[in-house]
Structure 1
């Protein structure tokens, strides 16, 4: 008998295709790891503490230019002088804005010009009562005042109320920044006010105001 040829088993095409597919899947590279998320933006740091001028004198105590219900430190070059309200009531009324504002009477003026700025730190006194009430009435009484923002704060170790606001001058046709604080003392409310020729002068004088605020004590 003639030798029979070996039987060749046909591989179905579908199985062959499946094998090739599995082989291909087995050789595929592992999927890339997901990209790391971008680093989180740094959180905003707390607002920097306001700059405080170095003390170069004091005001309010016995022997100083102005004897006040409070004492506080003065920056270098700032020159204080007492304010004498005219005894003539008619003259005092005519100069109302210079000597009286709302419930407060001006008692001391500290001139910044010798230090290189144009402006004043003024001290006002008002009758005993609420520090906030006196300060609000003081600001409302100033011609052109607007955008007042009040906040509870400290003046030295004393509870205080502080206001930042703006004043529009019709003469100059511009608005300038102002700031003041009020504290209640056994002798009445004391208001410390910082003005300035304009907002830039006001900003440059803030360290002297901060010195007064942080060093303030009842005398």
Structure 2
């Protein structure tokens, strides 16, 4: 069930690890490819919860919501990671995990996807200690991309987190899709949803 979250609640969620927003309706599932097969829900196409220059499959029960950064007003900076703005967040809570899969776009930015990730990881640290960043160049959606996994530690909260992300170039600019669990212990259970997005991603325009 979709829940509209107040600005105060949004701020509270962002303070610990990410942004939240009011949402568009959850997209309808596409027709199954074979009789009796479960329908694969994709995010990104026109008419879906988040319209993006790419599309990918969602893990079961993960709930997508479009994010309009400008509509967040004074909280807009909390939905930005350096030059990257959140365009879509996919909530893992209905599937039993705490965290999000977020799609960030930096309009007009191009270049090497690995460089995009390095910029993103640095900007996302926000005073936290970053360690163990492991980068690799990969092919995603038939094009050049890169991926990274890293850990962070918040001294004030004594809280450890682990993240994964991949980057590629689109017509809208550089895109980073980040797996953002609440804590490091949530990462293994959420990783399959990230891998599904990476494996099924298609550049649509």
Normalising by structure 2, report the TM-score. 0.73
Alignment of 1:69-84 (within 5 A): 69-84=53-68
Q: What is residue 116 of structure 2 aligned with on the other side? A: 134
Contact 1:158 1:217 in 2 (8 A): no
Paired residues, what number? 162
State the Cα RMSD in Å: 1.8
Which residue among 43, 66, 70 is the counterpart of 2:50?
A: 66
Q: What is residue 120 of structure 1 aligned with on the other side? A: 100
Contact 1:55 1:75 in 2 (8 A): no
5+ unaligned residues in a row in structure 2: which ranges? 1-37
Of 56-65 and 156-165, the range deviating more from structure 2: 156-165
Which residue among 40, 46, 51 is the counterpart of 1:56?
A: 40
- How far apart, in 1, do the equivalents of 2:155 and 2:202 lie? 37
Alignment of 1:26-175 (within 5 A): 56-87=40-71, 91-92=74-75, 95-96=76-77, 98-126=78-106, 127-130=108-111, 131-142=113-124, 143=126, 144=128, 145-175=130-160
**Other structure's SS at 2:51 match:** coil
Of 119-128 and 170-179, the range deviating more from structure 2: 170-179
Normalising by structure 1, report the TM-score. 0.69
- How far apart, in 2, do the equivalents of 1:55 and 1:163 lie? 30
